[in-house]
Chains A and B, each alone.
Chain A
């Protein structure tokens, strides 16, 4: 149809009201209606904008520090509150050590607890215990930190840390004076904090293993524990790995409780008993006093480094969780 022909056809005469009504009908006849679509899209857009804004604003604030020291910000850093330079590397090492302690302490205990709750305990015991652990998971980190500082720290200084120093092989990790606040105390407090997460996530991974797998192992003559070891744990492996990784993300990113119990000493730790600092505790303790400019930009640089590490870990954990769900769905 050529345009000239179209122009020749007179437009249908509509009364103004009829035209409006028709336009409205056309608009509202869309699936869902326009207002609803606007609502949905604005929700998604606001969330996306916030995520983007978070990344962009932190990067923009930190750009001065990154520009000043380049890639070496990751180890030597530029932070100076009183003309002292505190290398970022110390904080990264502190973060990794405390997280490693937390994982080493919490994973065997947590997975063992999850295995007990999902496989070994009778139902009358396992369901109230699971609810209890779910509730305790909600305990705010500041309360855990307070408990760690005022209750656990004296116990560590007088009993736990001297004990570790006395054990022959462990003394290589534990030497120097026992103050209480230390890497190992921070790691323990973190372990208490991530324990409920590990238990809850691994328990759900264990319980979602198919009943047939258990029955098949039982039919082959496996004992109760062998069923768990040969059928249930391998089936739940990715789920448990994801639980550990997500808990690790939480331990890496925890700030306030760690800042209360780690002792805030800005030198490279030589033992698990020495007080230290993590990225999170360094941010908390230095952001308030940092002068605008390079000083503050360096602290925000620490935030960016922390954000980068935790996002990496969390992406890994989520991908693992997803792959578990996919394989489960694929199984007949």
Chain B
């Protein structure tokens, strides 16, 4: 290898080494120039990629906002929908429905998810590994499958409720949230230093008490963030609600009856050809988007604040 770079016998030609050195230097300079050009091209194309990826995302949010703000009014938020063809009307039934459905779903998913996360934290071995893997795979299950599952278990003929109901939607959303809650809670509980567990146990405190007042308290910021993000995800879901809660144009507070939901209003009004219906869809989309973004921001801010307090 080195023989190709340096002549074997430097004595035969007087300035062979110098000539060689000059050659190497020149080719290095050329290579550097080429590498620089390549690097610059790559950096420019990455920058273009950022612009291309941000453009549709920002356009989507901006357009929804600009259309939605026009539809928004106090009456829009507090009135029930009018029959098709009659102007005006609002989305109060959808707002109330979404809040109740998601609230009930979270009330099911958060306790069960936290308990399952404690199981994963306390136990190692094959069983816990399988459960953890199951939770990870469950986060990727199509949400429509959860809706059809809830239909089969709670809505369809021969099931306990037997007709469309808000509760069936809550169940579908709870199944959707469960794996997210489990994994986020487990991660935040694991982040509590082992020393704190051991200090508590060394004091002779019962394990359940250590978990309650040391682990759960220490993991609180993470638990809050994880649960809020799960709720934010559930609020925006449509497919699990389509065949479970059905939709309603009156304010319904009984979860055993069919209910409205924000996402269902967007779907049913947005797919109509009438500008008035589309206007309502944009307004509802803006309300939903605001709700989801506020939940995500609150989740992050809350965890940052709680973290600071914990220190």
Contact = CB atoms under 8 A, between A and B. Distances in A.
A120 B112 contact: no
Contacts of B60: 139, 143-144, 147, 192
Given A39-B118, A140-B263, A253 B140 contact: yes
A112 B49 contact: yes
B265 to A, nearest CB: 10
Given A50-B178, A108-B49, A40 B266 contact: no
B296 A138 contact: yes
A303 interface: yes
What class of interface size applies to chain A in its complex with B? 35 or more
A250 interface: yes
18 contacts: A33-B207, A36-B207, A43-B113, A44-B131, A47-B116, A54-B149, A109-B52, A120-B47, A129-B54, A134-B296, A139-B292, A140-B263, A146-B270, A223-B32, A228-B42, A260-B267, A307-B141, A311-B137
Interface stretch (B14-22, B219-227, B235-243): B235-243
A112 B207 CA distance: 48
Contacts of B207: 31-33, 36
Given A28-B206, A43-B119, A142-B263, A225 B233 contact: no
Given A44-B115, A138-B296, A253-B145, 11 more contacts: A33-B207, A39-B208, A40-B119, A41-B119, A47-B113, A112-B48, A120-B47, A139-B60, A223-B38, A224-B39, A314-B136
A256 B278 contact: no
A65 interface: no
A111 B49 CA distance: 8
A56 B261 CA distance: 28
B242 A284 contact: yes
A42 B118 CA distance: 11
Interface string B293-311: 1011100100000000000
Contacts of B42: 225, 228-229
Interface residues of B, number: 92
A47 B131 contact: yes
A146 B144 contact: no
Given A40-B118, A140-B235, A142-B285, A109 B53 contact: yes
A253 B143 contact: yes
B133 interface: yes
Given A40-B119, A113-B53, A116-B46, A54 B208 contact: no
B140 A310 contact: yes
A236 to B, nearest CB: 15
B45 interface: yes
Interface string A192-203: 100110010000
Contacts of B300: 131
A129 B50 contact: yes
Interface string A221-248: 0011110110000000000000000100
B29 interface: no
Contacts, number: 266
Contacts of B63: 147, 151
B36 A223 contact: yes
Most chain A CB inside 10 Å of its own CB: which residue of B151, B157, B233, B285 = B285
B161 interface: no
Most chain A CB inside 10 Å of its own CB: which residue of B50, B134, B242, B266 = B50
A145 B288 CA distance: 13
B103 to A, nearest CB: 17
B289 interface: yes
A35 B208 contact: yes
Contacts of A61: 148, 152
Nearest to A248: B140
| Leading 7 A-B pairs by shortest Cβ distance | A140-B236, A43-B115, A112-B49, A253-B142, A225-B39, A32-B207, A36-B208
Contacts of A142: 236, 238, 263, 266-267, 270, 285, 288
A50 B49 CA distance: 41
A300 B238 contact: no
B175 A50 contact: yes
Interface string B139-164: 11111111011011100010000000
Contacts of B157: 292
